[in-house]
Each structure stands twice: as C-alpha cells, then as structure tokens.
Structure 1
Amino acid sequence: MPKITRRRALEGLGAAGIAGLAGCSSGPAGDGSGSEGTTTGSTGAMEITLGLFTPNSGAFAPWGPSLETGTRLAIRDLENELDVSVDLNVYDTKTDPSGALDAMKRAVTADGIDFAQGGINSSVCTKIGTWASDNNVSYIGQGASDSLRGEACQPFMYMVYQTNHMMATTIGREMADVTDRWYVLYADYVWGHNAEQVVTSAVEENGATVVGTDATPFPNDDYTQYINNVANSEADGVALLIPGPDASRAVKQMRNQGLTDVKIGAQMLEDMVFWGLDHEAAAMVDIASMGWVNTIDGVGDFNDRVAEAGELDPFVRHAKSYTSADQQIRAAVRAGSTRAEDVREELEGHEIQSAARDIHGGGEMYWRACDHELVSPVFSATARDASEMQDDPYKQWFDVTDTTPGDDVVRSCAETGCTL
C-alpha cells in the first residue's frame, strides 16, 4: 500500500481540513485523534519531514546556527545507518513565544512536518510544545526550566536538556567545596528564581553559607550595582545564575571593577557565552555546571565534524540538537510511524545506546516516562588558565572536573507535579 504522509493528507484535506487541524485538541494519548503522521508501507525508505525551531533572531540569535548544524549531522548519520530519508524545515522562533507559535502552526498545517524539535528559551518551548501536543505532534525541546516537566508537562512534549534543578543542585554542591561564603545573583524570571532556591539550599545543606542575594533584570546591560553589593558583602564567591550573554557581561564588568579575587560559580554555563571575551576574563570562572562541554573524553570526532560543518565552535547546543534528532527519528523508525502516540510509546523508558550517548561521554541516558525528561549526566567544569586555552582548530576553554549521574540530581517523579 502507498505510504500516506502528513503533507499528502493535508493536501487532500484542503483549506477547510487544515483549519480544522489547527484548532483541534488531542484526545487521550493513543486515541488516534489529531494528525495522522507518517507510516511505513511497501514503497521503500521511510520518509520524514522534521521541523526545526531555532532562534535565528532575538536575544538568543547567536545560538541559532548550532541547532541546525547539530540536527543536520544527526540526519546524515541516520540516513547512512537506517532506511530513512529526512527533509529538514527550519523556522525562526525569533526568541519570542508568539512568533514561535505562529511558526509552529504554519509548519504543521501548511508545511506538513511530521514532528518537531528545537527552541531554547523555556517560554518558547512551553508555547510551541503545548500547541504541538494539543495537536498530536511529537516535539523535543531544549528548555531547562523545571516548569516544563511540572504541572505544565504535555503528553507529546519531551526535553533533552538537563533540568534547572539538576544543574543547580550540582553547582550548589560544588560551590560549597570551593569557598564558605557566597553571594547569589540570579535572573529575575522563573528560571532564575528556581535556580536561586535550589542553589541556596544545596550550598547550605553542604555546609557553606549564602550571605546575600539579588534578583537582576534579564536581559541586562549593567550589573554595576549588583557587583557593588557583592564587593560590600562578606562573600568570598559569587554565584552567577544568569543565562546567555548576560553571564559573560557580568564577569567582564566584575573584572573591569577590579573584583578579581572573588570565586565565581556559574549554573548551566554554556562556554559559547564567554567566547566573545578574552581568555583572562573567562579564566575567572572557578566552577560551573554544564549540560555538555567539548572537552569530554571521546568527543573529538564529533567536535571535528561540528567545526567543519558549522559556523560555531562545538558547544552544548550542537550536542543537544544532534541528540533530539537522533532520538525522535530512531523512535519513529522503530515504530514504523511518526504518529505522536507511536513515538511516545517508543521513547518512554528508552535507554539511549546510539552515538548520542557516545558524545555525552558514555554515561547512562534514558527518557523518563513520568515527565519526558532525558535523564543524563551533568558535567562540572572549570576554566583553564588563560595560557592553556585552545582556540584552534576550535575553542576549548573549560575542562571537566566531575561527572554527576543524572539520577543523583533529578527530582523524583512525585516532586515534579507532572501527571503523565
């Protein structure tokens, strides 16, 4: 029998059918409502259209190219290994939930994507992931906010990045070993508030003290007043719970104000944010929790491929995009279908054994059924001395100091509030 793709089904529905799909809601998982997806037939290779949602404009635009590079590398590997052909459609989220939602609706109802991945900002992931799940479209996002796995979790939404709680717990433990008195600066929105609570708790549970905290605007250009608060406190270290380029901006301003003798801890650090600074500024970072770093043992081949294929040196978003495509496409091939309920059946409880595991250092990685989190190791890292930082053939400025199994720091299923 001929294979029926989502695109062909939509073409047959016409305008009225497309409008109906855009407004429909999913029934219980597995009831077959919503989109039909792609199923395999007797015509040869399975054909998949993957929608990638990436911030090519807006606050996270510098990250944009990495999502496409990592995804295309995974597609190349999968097409060589499996009997599958993948078309990639790329959409700009504009780092804006409303703009991203418009793109997701167009991708499903007009372009006929089979499933989706991408999105960095947690608000974007929530917006497009909720709509996708309501319309029976499988979606893997890269948001770290715990709220994505909490009461707002969705039956067909998955998150590939380690949670905020996992990152914050890891760095809080490490900070307590570095020095005894900490000042916490955190971004003034849900991600930062959650990180501050978890880090403060972990620091104090491990015998150190938080002597002060400040909620900082995000995004923010001037951290002077907050740096002054740190300098005027009794703190020996400052925790930067600030995402994106703001973290490097704060470090640069600390250095410019002469606050160079204070220890720096960073949560969910992505080394790319420091590549715009000089070596000496980046070298101020004493300890950081990271979702992935390009100095993990055994990832040299992946680094080389990223450097050759992309516009950015290898960093965490390349690895997460590769993993998202690898996992969702493999699940569809195992199921012989891209229908959201079929992909879900293949992902829940699945332990990764593919190349995606290898580029994360070989630790245990599995999709948790209760909240659709990819439980994976968290890496602790420290900046190299400025004289030892590598820039060619790609930047390597941070070294792994420890690896924490995901099960050691992930919240229990009961704690998440998710009721999948």
Structure 2
Amino acid sequence: MLRKQLATVCLTAAFALTGAASADAQMKKDKFNILMLTDLSSVYSETSGPGDVEFAKMAVADFGGKVNGVPINVIVVDNKLDPALSVNKAREIINSQGVSLITDVSSSAAAIAIAKLANERHILTTFVSPGTMALTNEACGKYTWHYGYDTSAMSVPVRQLTQSGTKKWYFIAADFAFGKSLLDSFSKAVKASGGEVVGIDMVPFPNDDFSSYLLKAQAAGAQAVGILESGQDLRNAVKQAREFGLMDAGIKIVPGQLNLSDVKALGPDTWAGVNAALIWYWNMDDDTRKFAERFHKDLNFYPGDIHAGNYSAVYQVLKTVQELGTDDPDKVTQALEGRRFSDMFAKDALMRKSDHLVVKRTFVGEVKPASDVKQEGDYFNIIGSVPGEEAYYPETESTCKHDW
C-alpha cells in the first residue's frame, strides 16, 4: 500500500542489463535518484498515482536496479496537484539527497513550476502526466522534456470529426492551465478543419454540476460538445450529458482526455460511442499486453497511457545514461535531442531538439458498449492512427526559445 505522504522506494536488484558499465564510466553521483511527483490522494490518483509508481518500478527492475554500477532509487512524493508543495518537496529532496531525474509531475500548473526549478538546478525531467503546451513553449528548457502527450495531440478526434461534417462545436473547459491549453488546441483544430465554435464556458475546478453548461450547448445548436476536463469533473459532465439525452439526440461528446479508469468508473454504456485520443492502449498488441499483465498482477487493474508513459520515460533516460557512461545532465540532454525510438509505449517517437517535445504516433479510440466488452478493462476499439508529425503541432508554431 502506498502512503499518501512522502515515501521512498529503493530498488537495488542485481545489475543484469546486457552491456555492463564501461570501465571509464564517469557517474557524477554515487546513486541515481529518480524523484516521482505524482498524485496519490487527489482527483488524478487513478490516472496517475500508484500506477505511475508501479511502472517506474518495473522500468528500474527491468534495467537491473543499477546504471553504470550505481544503485537506482525511486523517491515518491504525493504532490496533491499543488504547485507550491511540488516545488518545496522537490527542492528539499534535491538539497538533502540529490536527484538525477524528475518524472511524472501530476498537474500542469505544478509542472510549469517544476520546469523552472529543474532548469535552474540542471536536473533532467520528463513530464508524463501534464498536458499543457506551455511546457514546450514559454516554459521549455534545456533539461525538461514533455514526454507523455500534449493538448495538440488530444485534438486529433476533433479534426477528424469536423472534417467529416460535425461543424458546430461548443466547449466546456476547466478554468485552469490544462483546460485553457485544451481549449486553445481544440478551437484551433475546429477552425483549421472548417468548423465553427458556437460557444465556450470556462468552468471552476473542481465542479460537480455541469447541467447549465450542457443545456446551453444544446440550445446553441452544437453538433458536438468538447468537455475539456479530466478526472472526476469529466465523469460528472459526461454522466449528466448522457442523462440529459445529448448523445441520444446525436450530439457528439468529445473529452479533452479520457482514461480507462474514467470508463470503468461510470461503466462503458455511459461512454459508448465517445471518441478520444489515446497515446497508448494496453490491448494494442502482444508487447503492450505483456506489460499490462505484469502490471495487472501487482495492482489488479489494467494500466492507462500515463502509467505506461512513466515506464518509457524512466527506461529511455536510464538507457541513455548507460550508453554514455555518465549521468552528466548536459551530455544526456545532448544525446536525447533528436533521438528516435520505438518502445512498448511510444511508437515512431522523436525527441524534438527545438522544443523538447516527444512526438509519437497517436491513436483514436471509440468506447465500446458494455455488450461488446469481452474482457475486463478492454473498453476501446482503435479506429484511427495518426503519425506523430501530424498529431502534434509543427515546430514552426513553437515559441520555445532554444537558447541553450
């Protein structure tokens, strides 16, 4: 059982990775501490939290517990989605124990704050949970990577639906960093695809009553409603949309971000027919299923895309450190820039040098009705696949000042 407070998970399995550390390996620290800032007790605890920790542990175990002869330790902090708490805890651990890698970082606002600290202290950071595009624009930096997904990729279903004739859109967006970034990306997708935004409501977070916003969307003649929320707020909004008959009236519901835990919580029939962007799906192929079964054995549920993203982020950084023979953040950054790879999580991925966005293939999933669900947790049919260079915004639109 994970504690809701600062917890430390020390993983020191015998080093068994093929290609042991070279004799001239130059590690700057006597241990490789990975600081995981995740939500263990708030609204994102199901979509990140324990599942993210489990996959990070799996990555370290698969690597053999050491890198270049140095033990790998995972330090877990419940950041409670609080930017100040995230920065204060991170600074405390950096000063007292040293940190070689920060990963996950639940909450876009917390991630923006951590990005500043990480770049000041020269600490490699892979943002997996947050979606705001600020991380590869105004808040970009030498040592930080936007690894999991961003809101431009989440807008793939919007583009496809608009191009196929769903032209009138209404947006209900959470009034915080992630919601605003989703709104910007989704609105651009509608307009670029020949559609029209007929209304926007910015909604306080958290919120449990979306009835007035949904009724306004219906009255505005919307053919689709983008619910730019996540976690419990998304569930509340979609449940009420189903109860008010919006789906039965033919109005498309498109979430800003949809996770397996959301579908499970309300049941697939509540979500049936909803399309959403997926950066990963556990039942995609033999490789993803293999990892998912390992995960399920320990936590008794199937992993979501953010969970899997933490495995990839940790493993790819460790692999680079191993290849270089050093944990020097400047050398690791240089090696990561422009790196292409495919692994269990990321397909045809590119670590873009210009803004440190990890561009990867994005999928479109459609939620199955309960009658079509033949296995626990297998809630999606994959109905589309988009190459990374099409799913994510182009480098020419980035405002990142790559001046390092």
Q: Does 1:309 align with 2:298?
A: yes
Read off the aligned partner of 2:220 and give its amino acid letter: S
Gaps of 5+ in 2: 1-22
Corresponding residue number in structure 1 for 2:98: 112
Cα distance, 1:205 vs structure 2 = 3.0
Cα distance, 1:159 vs structure 2 = 1.3
Cα distance, 1:391 vs structure 2 = 4.9
| Higher deviation after alignment, 73-82 or 133-142 | 73-82
Q: Does 1:199 align with 2:186?
A: yes
Cα distance, 1:82 vs structure 2 = 7.0
Read off the aligned partner of 1:367 and give its amino acid letter: M
| Higher deviation after alignment, 109-118 or 313-322 | 109-118
Q: How do 1:127-138 residues align onto structure 2 when only pairs under 5 Å count?
A: 127-138=113-124
Q: In structure 2, which of residues 11, 23, 39 is the aligned counterpart of residue 55 of structure 1?
A: 39
User: Aligned in 2, Cα 1:110/1:235: closer, same or farther, shift over 3 Å?
Assistant: same
1: CA distance between counterparts of 2:271 and 2:54?
25
> What's the secondary structure of 2:341's corresponding residue?
coil
Cα distance, 1:339 vs structure 2 = 2.1
Corresponding residue number in structure 2 for 1:6: none
Corresponding residue number in structure 2 for 1:292: 280
The answer to whether the Cα contact below 8 Å between 2:33 and 2:98 also exists between their aligned partners in 1 is: yes
Read off the aligned partner of 2:310 and give its amino acid letter: S
Corresponding residue number in structure 2 for 1:7: none
Q: In structure 1, which of residues 405, 409, 414 is the aligned counterpart of residue 391 of structure 2?
A: 409
The answer to whether the Cα contact below 8 Å between 1:332 and 1:343 also exists between their aligned partners in 2 is: yes
User: Aligned in 2, Cα 1:397/1:40: closer, same or farther, shift over 3 Å?
Assistant: farther
> What's the secondary structure of 1:295's corresponding residue?
coil
Q: Does 1:91 align with 2:77?
A: yes
Read off the aligned partner of 2:192 and give its amino acid letter: E
Q: In structure 2, which of residues 39, 48, 53 is the aligned counterpart of residue 68 of structure 1?
A: 53
> What's the secondary structure of 2:266's corresponding residue?
coil
Higher radius of gyration, 1 or 2: 1
The answer to whether the Cα contact below 8 Å between 1:92 and 1:103 also exists between their aligned partners in 2 is: no
Q: In structure 1, which of residues 184, 201, 215 is the aligned counterpart of residue 202 of structure 2?
A: 215
The answer to whether the Cα contact below 8 Å between 2:273 and 2:366 also exists between their aligned partners in 1 is: no
Corresponding residue number in structure 2 for 1:347: 336
1: CA distance between counterparts of 2:374 and 2:107?
29
The answer to whether the Cα contact below 8 Å between 2:55 and 2:307 also exists between their aligned partners in 1 is: yes
Give aligned-pair identity as a percent.
Answer: 23
Q: In structure 1, which of residues 117, 121, 134 is the aligned counterpart of residue 107 of structure 2?
A: 121
User: Aligned in 2, Cα 1:42/1:343: closer, same or farther, shift over 3 Å?
Assistant: closer
The answer to whether the Cα contact below 8 Å between 1:172 and 1:200 also exists between their aligned partners in 2 is: no
Cα distance, 1:149 vs structure 2 = 0.7
Read off the aligned partner of 2:322 and give its amino acid letter: V
1: CA distance between counterparts of 2:241 and 2:335?
48
User: Aligned in 2, Cα 1:274/1:86: closer, same or farther, shift over 3 Å?
Assistant: same
Read off the aligned partner of 1:79 and give its amino acid letter: G
Cα distance, 1:338 vs structure 2 = 1.6
Q: How do 1:237-248 residues align onto structure 2 when only pairs under 5 Å count?
A: 237-248=224-235
Read off the aligned partner of 1:90 and give its amino acid letter: V
User: Aligned in 2, Cα 1:207/1:418: closer, same or farther, shift over 3 Å?
Assistant: closer
Gaps of 5+ in 1: 1-38
Deviations 1:248-306 (A, max 9, x none): 11011122223332221223322322321122112151x11122222323311111111
The answer to whether the Cα contact below 8 Å between 1:171 and 1:199 also exists between their aligned partners in 2 is: no
Aligned residues: 372
> What's the secondary structure of 2:340's corresponding residue?
coil
Q: In structure 2, which of residues 371, 375, 382 is the aligned counterpart of residue 400 of structure 1?
A: 382
Q: Does 1:227 align with 2:214?
A: yes
1: CA distance between counterparts of 2:50 and 2:300?
7
> What's the secondary structure of 1:61's corresponding residue?
coil
2: CA distance between counterparts of 1:196 and 1:41?
47
Q: In structure 1, which of residues 154, 162, 183 is the aligned counterpart of residue 149 of structure 2?
A: 162
* TM-score of the pair, normalised by structure 1: 0.82
2: CA distance between counterparts of 1:229 and 1:334?
56
Cα distance, 1:367 vs structure 2 = 0.8
User: Aligned in 2, Cα 1:398/1:56: closer, same or farther, shift over 3 Å?
Assistant: same
1: CA distance between counterparts of 2:195 and 2:223?
11
Read off the aligned partner of 1:267 and give its amino acid letter: G
Cα distance, 1:93 vs structure 2 = 1.2
Deviations 1:126-151 (A, max 9, x none): 11222122011111112211111112
> What's the secondary structure of 2:199's corresponding residue?
strand
2: CA distance between counterparts of 1:312 and 1:102?
32
Over the aligned positions, Cα root-mean-square deviation in angstroms equals 2.4
Corresponding residue number in structure 1 for 2:125: 139
Cα distance, 1:311 vs structure 2 = 5.1
Read off the aligned partner of 2:51 and give its amino acid letter: S
